[in-house]
Amino acid sequence: MTHYRQLAREERYLISAYLKANWSLRAIAQELGRSASTISREVSRNATTHDGAYRPCKADRYARARRRRSRRGPKFKPEQYALVRRYLRKKWSPKQIVGTLRPQGLLDMSHESIYRYLLRDKQAGGGLWKHLRLKMKLRRKRYGKHDWRGILRGKKHITVRPPEVELRQEVGHWEGDTVVGKDLRHSILTLVERATGLTVIRKLEARNTKETNKALRAVLKKYGARMKTITFDNGTEFHDYEEIEKEFGVACYFATPYHSWERGTNENTNGLIRQYLPKGSCMKNVTQAKCDWIARELNTRPRERYGFKTPEAMYGRP
């Protein structure tokens, strides 16, 4: 059995000398007692990029560097991967994991490394990738039809909101929507504060004005002192908004029908909630305790746009 023997430094200098003398690669291989493929691979692998010349000193440095890299063990320790898996299962994104743990000295990999790890895990039949947020399907645009959804006299349109709402420079401006379950009855009310991302979720036994106002009252009793405005979706479940305005002094506004981007913060939050309550699932057995748990998970998850601080830390105590 023939064992491969790597080229020595002296052989590289001889290769360089023979090349300058216009020897063929096959002739050089025969002179050194090597195979022609070994000499060809050595020259092509170590030729300099700017002029294509073979320089033995650089070729030897390149070869040593390749040897060192090939002898390295795994770049990251098992403890780091265990930490990554732990936070992935908590629905944190790779950027959130890195942005929080690397400054603490607990992790030295990049979010790209985590994505590569997830890809390898998926290819091996693992399910870690399922904890990532999936891309939401685009809604079908409606053309040529008059939209009667959410028609209610006296509603204040989103365009008349105070300018400070858009700027996100003060706490107190919220967005609200409902997320409906498979049976189209049981659903949840979602509210998110625009400046901090703080999320509140309330279970609805029915998607109607009575249940919605009952849930809104519960939220306003806790957060009302710092709630100045709420911008709602155009669902009819919000049609008794005037009761809320009179009782708590909060101003209610409404987005344009089918313009979900006007409430981007709420739409994005609903996408995060779908990690815990997937689309198509029934919410009949979803309890308020579970809603509170999901909200707590989201509110203690670091966000890149806040410098990896959590919404809870950004908002402070209600």
Q: Edge-to-edge strand order for the sheet containing 187-193?
A: 199-204, 187-193, 173-180, 229-232, 251-254
Residue 273 pLDDT = 93
- Name the nearest CA neighbour of 252 among 165, 148, 184: 165
Taking the C-alpha atoms of residue 306 and residue 265, their distance in angstroms, rounded to an integer, is 14
Residue 136 pLDDT = 29
Taking the C-alpha atoms of residue 157 and residue 160, their distance in angstroms, rounded to an integer, is 6
For 273-288, the pLDDT digits (tens) are 999 999 888 899 999 9
For 30-74, the pLDDT digits (tens) are 988 899 999 988 888 887 655 678 888 888 888 887 777 665 555
If you count them, how many residues does the chain have?
A: 318
Long-range contacts at 293-299 (CB < 8 A, ≥ 24 apart): 294/201, 295/199, 295/200, 295/201, 297/90, 297/91, 298/199, 298/269, 298/272, 298/273, 299/197, 299/198, 299/199
135: pLDDT strictly greater than 60:
no
For 140-188, the pLDDT digits (tens) are 444 444 444 555 667 888 888 988 898 888 999 999 999 998 888 889 9
For 78-134, the pLDDT digits (tens) are 889 999 999 999 999 999 999 999 888 899 888 888 998 898 888 888 888 888 876
